Chains A and B, each alone.
Chain A
């Protein structure tokens, strides 16, 4: 693997929390970033633009079979699961919801873990769901790193608490500090 990746999952309250994490990343951030933010199935494709306002890296909605690139933030489109293929491309799917969600954080993290292995960092932020807990555990099993938003800083702490209960995480921090910790990661990490 020539570069590592970060998979970020957020639900209710995530627009602010994800934005804060992304704002901390430098323009030369060397890892690929993938974001699943739970959003209404009928939402338009402006989520990436909203994150872009706070981020120095290019942010865009992931397209099917798009090559995964370092230094780019890819956002899952509304009403599609986002998956990582072994050829380092994304694939999208409209199969059934997972944890009542499409896109599902577990689906992204479980597929990304098998491709990026120890070069993957998973981040679980605010939300009223257990989505992402199994995915974060999969990342840990594959030798990757896990970061979770400190529950007391989360708009809704259900998702961070579910993630903390699912595996031994490496860091429990407020979103700005998660951003700073990501910024300190080495290129292949």
Chain B
């Protein structure tokens, strides 16, 4: 949509109303998302459907359920791959896993897991480190269809070449082909990886704390959130981690601009691996 100065504020108002309509109708809350991002995504849908304005989109999404689903799909970004950013997984293996091995049992949470590629990556890594039988891995996302893909663990064959390269660069100790069965045009990841996984819907914006986690992955999700919402979600992670638990963000995300930065120590600044500092129980002071 071509914008001139007089329209900018009006369009921001229209978008606020549109996001309010989505929230009231479905409970999906995009009101705190990064606004430049939201506007671009909505404008794609508007142009594709030849609608004149964001206000016209409000009417359509109230009365036309398939259109509502189209808008919802446009607002979620689900691009990921297995062992994405291989050097990150190498750092997890070399720096984080030795700490995880000191626990009898660990809980790992992939927040915003999309179709599950990073969940399976972590399961493979833990298996090679002899940790898989002592782990429970949770994958959550707001988007039920992608969670179903994650549960199935079936990915297109053409993606496997990239996954294999990533796996090798990430320091994999076996052969990536050991972990899947190839079909005609897709691969199915092996069932024993899935035994430790639990996929469920969870909305970082509106849902609460998720267990006492030893490790949380949330990579390239926070970039789509506005700064206030980011703060809220970082606090949610802080409260969901056990003392000494690890938080892993995307390669260009950081806690540098967060008020909660001091609650974490930086484990690997380049790979964006953080660790929750041990909190002394201040409330206990002075008690017998």
Contacts and interface: CB of A to CB of B under 8 A. Distances in A.
B223 interface: yes
Given A93-B223, A94-B79, A94-B220, A63 B35 contact: no
Contacts of B220: 94
A142 B257 contact: no
Interface string A64-93: 111100000000010010011111010111
Interface string B32-44: 0011110011000
Interface centre among A84, A93, A138, A142 (most CB of B within 10 A): A93
A17 interface: no
B226 interface: yes
Secondary structure dominating the interface of A: mixed
A118 B226 CA distance: 24
A64 B225 CA distance: 10
Contacts of A142: 3-5, 8
A111 interface: yes
Contacts of A107: 40
Given A86-B35, A91-B36, A117-B5, A65 B227 contact: yes
Contact of B223 (A91, A138, A141, A143): A91
Interface stretch (B133-141, B193-201, B248-256): B248-256
B2 A93 contact: no
Nearest to B11: A114
A117 B40 CA distance: 17
Contacts of A83: 34, 36-37, 40
A155 B221 CA distance: 38
A85 B79 contact: no
Interface string B1-31: 0111100100010000000000000000000
B143 interface: no
A66 B41 CA distance: 22
Interface of A: 61, 63-67, 77, 80, 83-87, 89, 91-95, 107, 111, 113-114, 117-118, 138, 141-143
6 contacts: A66-B257, A67-B257, A83-B37, A86-B35, A91-B34, A91-B36
